[in-house]
Structure 1
Amino acid sequence: MVVCKYWQIAQDLSEKIKHGQYATGELLPSETDLTRLYNTSRETIRKALAELSVAGLIQKVKGKGSIVLNTARFAFPVSDIVTFNELNQSEQMRAQTKVLQLKNQQLPADISSRMRLRQPPATFIQRLRIVNEEPVIVDEDYILKKFVPVITEEQAQNSLYSYFENDLGLKIAYATKMITVETAPADITKLLKLATTDLVVFVRSLTYLQDTSFFQYTISMHRPDKFKFVDFAHRKKL
């Protein structure tokens, strides 16, 4: 796989930020200095800085430069389809995944109705994500058997999307997401080791293939003290 130079630079700068070489509140070197440091063009540096901005690592201030932001929480992109394993690698969380449930189960009735389906058979997977020995996310996935007939515990333990895309050849294209903050059910509260009154960030996703076929429904429940949700938005006048 060919890795773009701007992405390599963004990764290097990200590592330096996370390890304190560039501390919170400090300015990164200027674009001119970075072009010399990485022996590349200003355009490549600007693309790398844009990646850091989208990831919530820096804020560009006119007349000053790029200020390093607080990175105490892991940045979870809102607009992209990013798997937990990919986030684990990019953020170097050294996370673990524990498969709690793996069984055949129909798609929930409300989602089936919304998708105009007759509760198709699906594989239900519940997984607990653990970082630094602390539970941080509970993921619940419903994957339609029409597209993925069988999922093993090993595949659920590792990367489902690697299995879907590399082994099955599925072309995952886009997803719609709804983010809410709610009181967690008792079982989720227990799994995340939260107080009974604690709120949890719910991310509900409907994921589609390239041919627009709906194939996966996900409920991802995050501890709000461990994650920040980032997006990149352009100003559009109405």
Structure 2
Amino acid sequence: MAKKHEMIYRDLVRKITHQLYQSGTFLPSENELAALYGASRETVRKALGSLLENGFIHKIKGKGSLVLGLDKYAFPISGLTSYRELDSLFDMHTDTQVLQLAQTTVPQTLFHLEADEELPATYIQRLRIVNGEPLVIDNDYVLTNVVPHISKGVAQDSLYRYFEETLNLEIGYGSKEFTVVPATEGQRQILKLPPNSSVVSVKGITHLQDNTLLQFTESIHRADKFKFIEHARRKML
């Protein structure tokens, strides 16, 4: 069950996303939010801290929490967030289409593998559609020595949910590589992009808690619909 501050955070994100709290305006005060949610000020501060960290607000001393512009979906750079979790957070009402489901090996060049490093995998290509617009192409390669079989129903739903809740796998950590690249002809057709468009390629490698390789992913995002965020703190060197 989600903690109270997480529930408040998610509710405030939805209200900001749906412009109940519009950009350029201030959120209610900590006391007002505490009364609204029946929570302590410390709990509210934790929720506001998450909003600040993920780029939804800016704190101004003596004034409060200023709502920032949200013209794109904010995808966190750090952390391992599934698309379904992002969908739930933003209340995006996403449809998922499974375009391909096949047995293959992980592409060596794409993920900088050694020439003799052949990793059998289940390849799942999915298209994410939000409000009738195709936004993301997910290309997942799940290693068959860890997950021998993935059904179309699982691919249609959530891989992470299947890994964690059905197979009881403990996802540990991963790495991500972000690049802006010209869209291929196939990507332009699927995402309905004009000629000479660019996309954001997010390549990821995911390990289990015991360091076992689990998954290779390349997600192709429409650059006009997503922003990628990370919270940075000033450190004196």
TM-score strictly above 0.5: yes
Q: Classify the secondary structure of the residue corresponding to 1:110.
A: coil
Aligned to 1:79: 78
Contact 2:108/2:114 (8 A) holds in 1: no
RMSD: 1.8
Distance (whole Å) between structure 2 residues aligned to residue 234 and residue 87 of structure 1:
24
Q: Classify the secondary structure of the residue corresponding to 1:180.
A: strand
Distance (whole Å) between structure 2 residues aligned to residue 169 and residue 115 of structure 1:
30
Aligned to 2:150: 151
Q: Classify the secondary structure of the residue corresponding to 2:42.
A: helix
Distance (whole Å) between structure 1 residues aligned to residue 114 and residue 94 of structure 2:
33
How far residue 66 of structure 1 moved from its aligned partner, in angstroms, is 0.7
Contact 1:202/1:221 (8 A) holds in 2: yes
How far residue 42 of structure 1 moved from its aligned partner, in angstroms, is 2.1
Is the aligned partner of 1:31 residue 2:36?
A: no
Contact 2:13/2:89 (8 A) holds in 1: no
Contact 1:112/1:119 (8 A) holds in 2: no
Distance (whole Å) between structure 1 residues aligned to residue 128 and residue 234 of structure 2:
35
Distance (whole Å) between structure 1 residues aligned to residue 132 and residue 84 of structure 2:
17
Contact 2:108/2:115 (8 A) holds in 1: no
Contact 2:174/2:205 (8 A) holds in 1: yes
Contact 1:10/1:52 (8 A) holds in 2: yes
TM-score of the two chains, using structure 2 as the length reference: 0.93
Aligned to 1:219: 218
How far residue 18 of structure 1 moved from its aligned partner, in angstroms, is 2.6
How far residue 117 of structure 1 moved from its aligned partner, in angstroms, is 7.1
Q: Deviations 1:107-150 (Å, cap 9, x if unpaired)?
A: 11236764797212101111111111111000101110010000
Distance (whole Å) between structure 1 residues aligned to residue 135 and residue 110 of structure 2:
26
The amino acid that maps onto 2:57 is I
Aligned to 1:191: 190
Unaligned runs of 5+ in 2: none
TM-score of the two chains, using structure 1 as the length reference: 0.93
Distance (whole Å) between structure 1 residues aligned to residue 114 and residue 163 of structure 2:
21
Correspondence 1:50-89 to 2 at 5 A: 50-89=49-88
Distance (whole Å) between structure 2 residues aligned to residue 57 and residue 112 of structure 1:
33
Contact 2:14/2:91 (8 A) holds in 1: no
Distance (whole Å) between structure 1 residues aligned to residue 225 and residue 110 of structure 2:
28
Correspondence 1:79-228 to 2 at 5 A: 79-110=78-109, 114=113, 118-228=117-227
Contact 1:112/1:120 (8 A) holds in 2: no
The amino acid that maps onto 2:204 is S
| Identity percentage of aligned residues | 46
The amino acid that maps onto 1:103 is A
Distance (whole Å) between structure 2 residues aligned to residue 119 and residue 220 of structure 1:
21
Distance (whole Å) between structure 1 residues aligned to residue 177 and residue 236 of structure 2:
24
The amino acid that maps onto 1:217 is F
Unaligned runs of 5+ in 1: none
Q: Which runs of 4+ in 1 moved over 4 A?
A: none
Distance (whole Å) between structure 2 residues aligned to residue 38 and residue 89 of structure 1:
20
Distance (whole Å) between structure 1 residues aligned to residue 2 and residue 217 of structure 2:
30
